[in-house]
Amino acid sequence: MAETPQDPAVPESQAVPAERGPRHRGNTGSHERKESGDTKKQKSFWRELPLLIVVALVLSFLLQTFIARVYLIPSESMEPTLHGCPGCTGDRIVVEKLSYRFQEPRPGDVIVFKGPDSWSTGYVSTRSDNVVIRGIQEVGSLVGLVPPDENDLVKRVIAVGGQTVECCDDQGRVLVDGKPLDEPYIKMDFPFTPGVLTCETEMKSGRCFGPVTVPEGHVWVMGDNRSNSADSRYHVGDENQGTIPLDNVIGKARMIVLPPGRWGMIDSPEIQTS
């Protein structure tokens, strides 16, 4: 009697169908786990985003309060060193705040300072009358997104506390403690003609002022555009004799960052003669 054929044993190497099922199920599980991981990462990112924004704002506040801040030059009073004019896009400068925490400004430095009351006559607040919008502007100012609501000015230090400043010598130069200054940055000034238009003639030159002794803890400042700068010379009648208290000094102007064609360091030469 012929033997009933038995199902032959299938070699393990040929057990393809048996192997495909579990492998396919394993891939599906891995794909599902990957999708689940991506979803968790996305959720984690959106949960962390508010914290990242807060950290960025805090860092911006600390940087601009204690290290440096960018200011816009709005007028031509510091031409040609710094460009600016009403209605146009002036230079944007980096004002560094650390140096003057350890030392005082010296003659030749270009500084940004908060104008004393007598310098701020006619200053109009940039804040909105709307309480909510004004609050947003104040917060924006803290992190550098909105300019501070104060009359910030930029000038060059000419004399410091204890020094006496005046103009002019027989060549029309500014004198500090009786010694003439070398000021290579001045390109525009009032006319001064020896024997014709000086500080001794009946009609005096517009350069003439002083003498003024700068109080301790103050600085005397002037614009590089001498014929178009309402600086210390124009405020000698105020409580500070036109000088700026050191407490009002915000920082030292270090460099021009915009526009790109004007990028560069701001020169602060030693202007005092020996």
Q: Give me the half-sphere count of Cα atoms (radius 13 Å) on the Cβ side of residue 11.
A: 2
- Decide if 77 is catalytic: yes
The two tokens of residue 251 are: 């920082």
Amino acid found at 127: R
What is the C-alpha separation between 15 and 129, in angstroms, rounded? 82
The DSSP secondary-structure symbol of 242 reads T
Catalytic residue, chosen from 141, 155, 229, 232, is 155
Helix (H) or strand (E) holding 50: helix 16-62
Distances (CA, A) of 147 to 72, 229, 252: 9, 22, 17
Catalytic residue, chosen from 75, 77, 141, 268, is 77
What is the C-alpha separation between 212 and 242, in angstroms, rounded? 9
Q: Is the dihedral of CA 186, 188, 190, 196 positive or negative?
A: positive
What is the C-alpha separation between 8 and 234, in angstroms, rounded? 113
Place of tokens 């607040």: 125
The DSSP secondary-structure symbol of 134 reads H
- Decide if 97 is catalytic: no
Q: Give me the half-sphere count of Cα atoms (radius 13 Å) on the Cβ side of residue 133.
A: 5
Catalytic residues: 77, 155
